[in-house]
Amino acid sequence: AAQRGDRVIATARNVKMIEEMAEPFGGRMITLPLDVTDAAAAKAAVAKAVETFGGFDVLVNNAGYALFGAIEEGTPEEYRPMFEVNVFGLIETTRAALPVLRRSGGTIVNMSSGAGIEGRGGGGYY
């Protein structure tokens, strides 16, 4: 998107991992720290996007990971964090962005994986 001239706000839990990606685009792309499991952080990222660019038109929910293993062997400490990121993180980020997207007539893109279509052994949690 930044290559074609769009303004982009890229987020990650560890923003240092993505800062280099923004350098070639100057002010058209900024990076912000965001842990999607933190509703206040999602609101802060949205506020910074509005402050920097005046708003935005697209939210891409792309955070997620998979936990593989036998369901009966997993513990809540292992599987709950995956749901916090994959489900509740998406909800909180979307909730934070919706007022801006409603004003702009924007779009939400929710990324997923092929595992939703074709399951694998050991993928019951995912």
Q: State yes or no: is 125 an active-site residue.
A: yes
pLDDT at 116: 73
Output helix, strand, coil percentages for the chain, rounded to the nearest 5: 50, 15, 35
pTM exceeds cut of 0.95: no
3-state secondary structure of 26: helix
Contacts of 16 (CB under 8 A, 6+ apart): none
* Structural domains of the chain ordered from first start: 2-116 (3.40.50.720)
pLDDT band, residue 121 (cuts 50/70/90): confident
* Given the residues 65, 79, 125, 126, the one annotated as active site: 125
- What count of other Cβ atoms lies within 10 Å of the Cβ of residue 32? 17
- On whether the CB atoms of residues 62 and 111 are closer than 8 A, the answer is yes
- Mean pLDDT value of segment 70-83: 95
| Cα–Cα distance measured from residue 39 to residue 26, given in angstroms and rounded to the nearest whole number | 28
pLDDT at 113: 85
Q: H or E element: which one contains 95?
A: helix 90-104
pLDDT above 80 for 115: no
pLDDT above 80 for 35: yes
Q: What is the mean pLDDT of the chain?
A: 93
